Amino acid sequence: MRFATYTYEHETRVAVVADDDTLHPLPGTRGLAEVIAAGSGLPDLLALGRAALDTPPGPHVSEVRLRAPLQPPSVRDFVAFEEHVEGVRRSVDGAVGVPEQWYAAPTYYFSNPHAVYGPGDDIPMPPGSAVLDFELEVAAVVGREGRDLTPAEAREHLIGYTVFNDWSARDLQSAEMKVGLGPCKGKDTATTLGPYLVTADALDPYRDEEGLLRLALTAEVNGEVVGKDLLSNMSWTFEEMLAYASRGTRVVPGDLLGSGTCGNGGCLAELWGVRGEQTPPPLKPGDTVSLTVEGIGTLTNTVVPGVAPVALPAGRRRPRERP
| 237-256 pLDDT tens trace | 999 999 999 999 999 999 99
Asked if residues 199 and 45 have their Cβ atoms less than 8 Å apart, the reply is yes
Grade residue 77 by pLDDT with cuts at 50, 70 and 90.
very high
CA atoms within 13 A on the CB side of 97: 4
Tell me the pLDDT tens digit for each residue of 17-66. Answer: 999 999 999 998 879 999 999 999 999 999 999 999 999 999 999 999 99
Average pLDDT over residues 114-136: 98
Three-class secondary structure of residue 205 per DSSP:
helix
Is residue 232 over pLDDT 90?
yes
Asked if residues 299 and 137 have their Cβ atoms less than 8 Å apart, the reply is no
Q: How far is CA 233 from CA 76, 142, 210, in A?
A: 19, 22, 11
Tell me the pLDDT tens digit for each residue of 86-104. Answer: 988 887 777 778 999 999 9
Per-residue pLDDT, 95:
76
Phi and psi of 137, rounded to 5°?
-140, 170
Check whether the bond before 205 is cis (ω within 30° of 0). no
pTM: 0.96
Indicate the residue type of 164.
F
Asked if residues 232 and 216 have their Cβ atoms less than 8 Å apart, the reply is no
Name the burial class of residue 62, with classes exposed (0-12), middle (13-18) and buried (19+) by CB atoms within 10 angstroms of its CB: exposed
- For residue 270, give the H/E element and its range: helix 268-275
